[in-house]
Amino acid sequence: MTKSFGFVTALVLGSTTLVGCGIASHSATPAPASQSPSVAGTRKTSSPSSGTTHSSTSTSTAPTTVSHSSGGNSGALALVREWAQAALKGQAVGIPYGDQKSYDSLAKLWGLRAGNGVNGITYVTYSAHNAVVGFNEGDQLADVRSYNPNLHQITLADIESVMGQPQSVSHSTGSVIYTYDRGSYRLLWVFSKSASGQVSTTVNHADVQWPQGMVAPMGTNPPGNGASNAQDIALISQKGYGVTSTTPNASVKTASGAMLTSWIGTAKKSQDGYNHYVFFFLNGKYLGTDTTQPSLEITRTQPAGIGSIAVTYPVYQKNNSFADPTGVPVTITYHWNGTHLLPNKPYPQQFR
């Protein structure tokens, strides 16, 4: 792969100037964006693993007709009990921070990773920890999933022996999901399903969700005006980029009371989910992008005070794969001073 970078000192867009520098070119073809994310893979994708998001499944309250092997494995039964208890607290076994906790806390422990948004939830894969976590627009964890191999010993009979009949059974492409209500949370046991409809005899992964945080994200970002958002999205689309949400990634008020918004856009022609810009708008007026050339990846944007939005960029060290940047992420704050949008530091050197 050729890594080429160029520094840019200023970008003039109409009467607005953004200062920074950007990646000049990227050439790589990791897994296509249409694939489902997997902790065994090396690339983030556009939807959570195994189709456990309920909006894409059909649900029934009757038990599935698929036959599973009988329970009785003492280790499996103990593991089901451990998960049942953890889920009451919104926790997934093996993941240190559970639902309603800040994603920042987990990121400080496991490292900041880029993710993709689905229905207002950003999903991040941690392959080394056999985990996928989802957080809402308020940075609160709302969906924590474990793919730990020890789950593969658990059968449906083991689950029902400990927890009884599920509240619902959902069928989606590639999976069958048994859902149990656990106080304010719900525990999902996910079994994989082949193209012919054959369901695995043991659990593929377990998923603890916080329904309130998923349906109504507790974000602090103002949602903006629906019509204005649609216009922003249309303009971004005209420039060859797409967004993953109908609301901005971050919004703040300026000193004058105007609304500064930012959207993370991914190139439509990208086959691997890379090639990102941050698009800035002020009261619906397009200001420009964060850099003159797209970044390989942008981790997140978030409010950083009056008239300020912080953008976090991953940093790649020599020989890092696209999926696993190991450098310390760099956060640049872009501030609207009334006439210009200015960064507080230079764009990071991506490869070191």
Confidence band, pLDDT 50/70/90 cuts, at residue 328: confident
Query: Are 297 and 116 contacting, i.e. CB atoms less than 8 angstroms apart?
Result: no
Pairing of strands 205-209, 131-135: unpaired
Q: Check residue 72 and give its pLDDT.
A: 62
Average pLDDT over residues 250-267: 90
Confidence band, pLDDT 50/70/90 cuts, at residue 227: low
pLDDT(1) > 70 = no
Q: Check residue 87 and give its pLDDT.
A: 96
Which residue has better confidence, 314 or 263?
Answer: 263
Confidence band, pLDDT 50/70/90 cuts, at residue 33: very low
Report the share of the chain in percent with pLDDT over 90. Answer: 40
pLDDT(299) > 80 = yes
Average pLDDT over residues 175-200: 93
How many other CB atoms are there within 10 angstroms of residue 152's CB atom? 15
Confidence band, pLDDT 50/70/90 cuts, at residue 215: low
Q: Check residue 225 and give its pLDDT.
A: 55
Average pLDDT over residues 17-40: 31
Average pLDDT over residues 22-32: 28
Type of residue numbered 23: I
85-118 burial, b at 16+ Cβ within 10 Å, e below that, comes to ebbeebbbbbbebbbbbebeebbeebbbbbbbbb
pTM for the structure as a whole: 0.49
pLDDT(9) > 90 = no
Cα separation, 160 vs 164, whole angstroms: 4
pLDDT(179) > 70 = yes
Q: Which among 10-24, 205-219, 324-338 has the top mean pLDDT?
A: 324-338
Pairing of strands 250-253, 205-209: unpaired
Angle among Cα 112, 113, 116 to the nearest 5 degrees reads: 135
pLDDT(6) > 50 = no
pLDDT(26) > 70 = no
Confidence band, pLDDT 50/70/90 cuts, at residue 221: very low
Mean pLDDT, the chain, rounded, equals 77
pLDDT(16) > 70 = no
